[in-house]
Structure 1
Amino acid sequence: MVAFKVFSVLSIAIALVTAAAHPLSDQLVTRSISVISTHSATSSYKSLTTRIQTLRRDIDSGRVTETQARSQFQSFSSEARSTFTAINNCEACFHHDSVSSMTQYAQQCYSELKSLVDTCYRVYPEQARTIVTPLGQFDSQCRQNLALFRQGGIPVQSIIPSNFAQTASRAGWAQTSSFASSSSSRSSSSSSSSSSGGR
């Protein structure tokens, strides 16, 4: 009985240590994320945005080496993939009558993603491409996320910042870059048609 209690305590302690972030590399163990409403989706966007801001500031300030930056991009990409997957799996979140409540927070997240990639290329011009390579892990999730917004009646161009397609390409998001470009072209064509029709 005593041995069982000791084993249980040790198991809990090990679990807590495993879940903690590494003080230097900031690597996090992949955790299960559940999103069942626009409220939890909004919280997930906020959390991810904060994570991106922290990583961007660390890189911009020169507090991390190239090796550390590469390690942090790896752990961040894993977390981002899980987050976007969870949000995308929330069917109720992208209904026409509820999707608009997430728009502002998605905008902030995509804006920070663009800023993160641009900052990395500015600070590490020679090594940036290899440093941001892990971001490709959630390319398909980003593309799907934008597609779901469009299905919900939200124009993609109102979610992503200007020149996002170019930044997405630099980040290795082939699917997202292509989708953003086609959405931009579609938006421009619609605007031109509307202008012509109004004359």
Structure 2
Amino acid sequence: MLALKAISVLSIAAAFVTAHPPDNQLVARGFNGVTTTETATQSYQSLTTEIRTLRVNIATGKVEEEVAITQFKSFSYEATSTMTSINGCSLCYHPTRVSSLTQYAKQTYVEFDLLFETCYQVYGERASRLLTHLSPLDSQCQRNLSLFSENGVHLQHILPPNFIRNVNRAGWPETHRYASRFFVN
């Protein structure tokens, strides 16, 4: 009985903290915080910014290869969580709403494409040492693309021209296999 009361109190406390963050800003909560097209848009924009930062750091030589590997590991964890959250927002991909996300998803996939290319330009075949750490994103990106496709968005409106080739080099078989179905070789 005491244990049940403790669990109840902790649940209420957790709900309060979720509803009343320290800065008093109301935050949408749901599947890891993504519950609307607005929060999904913010998540895509955040991903795009993080990918661009990784890419620019590599392209300009701001980070050594070993440091870049550490950054890729950290990014992969955060990005996989973010993409899982985006995919969990079922309302976001309703046919009447999904088009509003298309441009933001496109920016994210363009940055992924450029990141893959940059890694190979800078590191050559050693790029796989970095890109292998992004493999947890493969299934989530495949799922993400399927949500767009199943709700009426042509993947040609999201994926850049070289994405199929680059995602294959990056070692994302699920995303490559799925996306390849929508492009004529």
TM-score w.r.t. structure 1 length?
0.75
Deviation at 1:165, TM superposition (A): 1.2
The secondary structure found in structure 2 opposite 1:124 is helix
The Cα of 1:33 is off from its aligned counterpart by 3.6
Partner of 1:39: 38
Cα offset for 1:175? 0.4
Aligned positions of 1:1-199 closer than 5 A: 33-185=32-184
AA partner of residue 52 (structure 1): I
**Structure 1 residue 162, shift from structure 2 partner:** 0.6
State the distance in 2 between where 1:163 and 1:127 align. 20
Deviation at 1:50, TM superposition (A): 0.5
User: What is the rounded CA distance, in whole Å, between the counterparts of 2:42 and 2:175 in structure 1?
Assistant: 23
Q: Give the aligned residue type for 1:125.
A: G
What are the superposed Cα offsets for residues 132-190 of structure 1, whole Å, 9 maximum, x if unpaired? 101111100000000000111001111111121111111111000111111114xx8xx
SS of equivalent to 2:125: coil
Aligned identity (percent) is 48
Q: Which amino acid aligns with 1:44?
A: S
User: What 5-or-longer segments of structure 2 have no aligned partner?
Assistant: 1-30
Count of residues in Structure 1 that have an aligned counterpart in Structure 2: 155
Structure whose alpha-carbon radius of gyration is higher: 1
> Distance in 2 between the 1:78 and 1:114 partners?
19
User: Following the alignment from structure 2 to structure 1, what is the Cα–Cα distance between the partners of residues 73 and 167?
Assistant: 17
Residue deviations 1:36-75, cap 9 Å, x none? 0100000000001000111111000101011011111111
For the aligned residues, what is the CA RMSD? Answer: 1.3
The residue type paired with residue 102 of structure 2 is T
C-alpha change, 1:126 and 1:151, in structure 2 (3 Å) is closer
The 1:142–1:41 alpha-carbon spacing in structure 2 relative to 1, beyond 3 Å, is same
Gaps of 5+ in 1: 1-31, 189-199
2:77 and 2:167 mapped to 1: Cα distance? 17
Equivalent AA in structure 1 for residue 112 of structure 2: L
Q: What amino acid is the match of 1:86?
A: S
AA partner of residue 83 (structure 2): F
In 2: Cα distance, 1:79 partner to 1:181 partner: 26
Structure 2 CA distance for aligned equivalents of residues 55 and 118 of structure 1: 12
With normalisation by structure 2, the TM-score equals 0.81
